[in-house]
Structure 1
């Protein structure tokens, strides 16, 4: 089955998950803490409702496919096609009423990211790609996504979820990069990667990511002409320490600073 056959289905997943989430947004929803004593790691009823809805659709439509999700764990991960789901990436923003969260829907084929979508149902935006091209669809219509040229860190806009999520040597490495950059913005979660693919942000640096935090974003970034890897230049698909850039020259400069 060709990957293009999944395009309509991914949009159905996005629509259904958005319908499950939006009744909870900007309400007095309670959040549980999954951190077990670490940094606050919230989960809400909206997270669970969204992922349950997507899992049900996947099982019904493609019963042989695998699933990796943030809230309910892995299923059949040895399958050729494995869906990688984060129902609300940016739950901290969600519970604060900020629209910088999104639903991440990724599809691995034979263990490699092949298609991804970030859906922001409140703003009505969808960012999606297949590693070869990437597209934005929203209130202003539809357009091709393209990263922008930026060869130098001193000219770069950089983003990370929060410097407080880095510790020890990772924090020192991040500080080396941010200290050179023109501008730093925090708290954007998956939205930062989509702004990179759109040509508004130049560099995103993160640490401690899980596969469901990044798999859906890799085909979007690469499809828009960017590059996303681990800090050591390896695959980003397993999460961990991630660096994404719109320009390969900027990526190389960031990796050099991060690996000192």
Structure 2
């Protein structure tokens, strides 16, 4: 069994990834800023955890395409769980990352589609169809596809935290004292922080607009699609200690510059 993908196979999978983005968008866009069938899937006494018809319908549409084209592939998705998670190829799906932004009518949600090959993330996309952007990455590089055409993605240099623009979804997610204190120290060390962008912030690191994203409590579907996009643009995805991530999610640090990542990890590691 080969441990690398040949160029022709990667081309095929890359093209199919764009098909999956279109299939997902066809379901989601008619429901954005419309009646999206909001539900709360949180257990009693747990914080609000929204899901919509768009989340469920988009993942179902992606899974249907996968079963038709590559029935031997596995799937791990937020809405419908696991199917052959130990297959050679496994697709990891979050049909709407940022459902809270979606239900608020804010175009900062994304569709995350990643592909593992032999347990390793090798291809991924961060799509925002309302804006008309798909960020795609692999070890061959990363690119932005939009109405303006296709352009390569590259992170920017940020050798010092004092120069950094950082993001997190919401500081309230740092629930314990150690996490909150670590975030506060990091926020005090940087130039600017932005909130509420969910995985769209990952794309902005790959694009060279943000320098760091710090998150906690992530699942595999929240992060795996971003790993090839960041790597292909020259960036990094690590845990709060600065170590490469596995396939479990957790506390994540995304960075464009290794120096900034290491400085951030020094601050975050006591809470890791």
TM-score bucket of the superposed structures, by smaller chain: over 0.9
Runs of at least 4 residues off by over 4 Å: none
Alpha-carbon offset, residue 35 of structure 1: 2.2
Alignment of 1:259 with 2:266, yes or no, is: no
- Corresponding position of 2:24: 17
Q: Is the 8 A contact 1:68 1:77 kept in 2?
A: yes
- Corresponding position of 1:246: 256
Q: Is the 8 A contact 2:173 2:216 kept in 1?
A: yes
Separation in structure 1 between the aligned mates of residue 180 and residue 46 of structure 2, nearest angstrom: 17
Separation in structure 2 between the aligned mates of residue 218 and residue 33 of structure 1, nearest angstrom: 29
Q: Is the 8 A contact 2:88 2:117 kept in 1?
A: yes
1:74 to 79, 82, 91: 82
- Corresponding position of 1:120: 128
Q: Is the 8 A contact 1:42 1:92 kept in 2?
A: yes
Q: Is the 8 A contact 2:241 2:266 kept in 1?
A: no
Alignment of 1:86 with 2:91, yes or no, is: no
TM-score, normalising length: structure 1: 0.97
TM-score, normalising length: structure 2: 0.93
Instruction: Tell me the SS of whatever aligns to 2:143.
Output: strand
Task: Could you tell me which runs of 5 or more consecutive residues in structure 1 were left unpaired when the two chains were aligned.
Answer: none
- Corresponding position of 1:31: 38
Separation in structure 2 between the aligned mates of residue 18 and residue 43 of structure 1, nearest angstrom: 16
Q: Is the 8 A contact 2:242 2:261 kept in 1?
A: no
1:210 to 206, 219, 232: 219
Separation in structure 1 between the aligned mates of residue 225 and residue 258 of structure 2, nearest angstrom: 20
- Corresponding position of 1:189: 198
